[in-house]
Amino acid sequence: MNPALGALLAGAAFIALSPIFVRVSEAGPTATAFWRVALAVPALWALYWIKPRARSRRYSGNWLLLAVAAMAFAADLAFWHTSIQLTSVANSTLLANLASIFVTLAAWIFLRQRPTRIFLTGLAAALAGVTLLVRTSVEFSPTGLAGDALAVVTAMFYAGYLLAVKGLRDRGEATLHLMAVTTTISAIVLFPIALATGEPMLAQSASGWWILVGLALLSHATGQGLIAYALAHLPAAFSSVSLLFQPVMAALFAWLLLAEPLVPTQVAGGLVVLLGIYLARRGSR
């Protein structure tokens, strides 16, 4: 197997573990989001400083855009972690991956970039799949609808993060510097928010702390890093692989590790959403 493709699939699988870590965390959802980025900060900065090529390519001329990316990412994590506690892992992950559709919608609304027919077909398919997922949540969980709604909000903030990152990369920002700075600012933003919610801030056991460390180092730092490496060595079309692979693996992990069932309507809705995302991404190029 191509090493870059292997890195892409491994990174997507590591990120797919993140909702499992969040579900079993002993800290509250927003506090877990804080620890996710805070514990990853030292590793990211250490990696950045031992990579001379990354330092030589650093661009720090637009700190405002870096701050916007970080705050969007912090909001994305806060809403998504809360969503994971209220609805199924499969629904939460699938709906959060609607971000790519929101990116194109934003370009349509604000930049007047007219969408293609393929994108509109994908959007219609994604909305049909979302309807099936929401129907499943309403039938099987009293909090599922709220969790699904928060996952859609997550997708909106993640779309904002992606747009900010694109602007930074277009200006020459290196991946490692971008990850290190945005992760640091996200931790600073999330800390007072987590305190204000009154959620449990600390893990209550050694295993609870290992869960937070795994979320930070395995899912966040390693998963994101592997995908960033892979996409630098693969054609752009392969980004769709990671986008579609993550929610599938997350649902599989939830089934194997949390005994979270998948009903036929949910499976059908998930497949339609994945098809919609795939078509929308093809129509956005």
Give the CA radius of gyration of the chain. 18
- Provide the pLDDT for residue 170: 77
The model carries a pTM of 0.87
Nearest CA to 10 out of 223, 213, 175, 218 is that of 223
38: number of Cβ within 10 Å: 18
Q: Is the dihedral of CA 8, 13, 14, 16 positive or negative?
A: positive
- Provide the pLDDT for residue 279: 78
Residues 6 or more apart whose CB falls under 8 angstroms from that of 200 comprise 26, 27, 28, 31
Q: How many CA atoms does the CB half-sphere of 96 hold within 13 Å?
A: 33
Q: What is the mean pLDDT of each run of 10 residues along the chain (285 residues)?
A: 77 90 96 96 87 57 86 96 93 86 75 74 82 77 90 92 82 81 95 95 95 94 80 62 76 89 84 81 64
Nearest CA to 37 out of 152, 193, 253 is that of 193
- Provide the pLDDT for residue 199: 93
Q: What angle do CA 104, 110, 113 make, to 5 degrees?
A: 55
- Provide the pLDDT for residue 36: 96
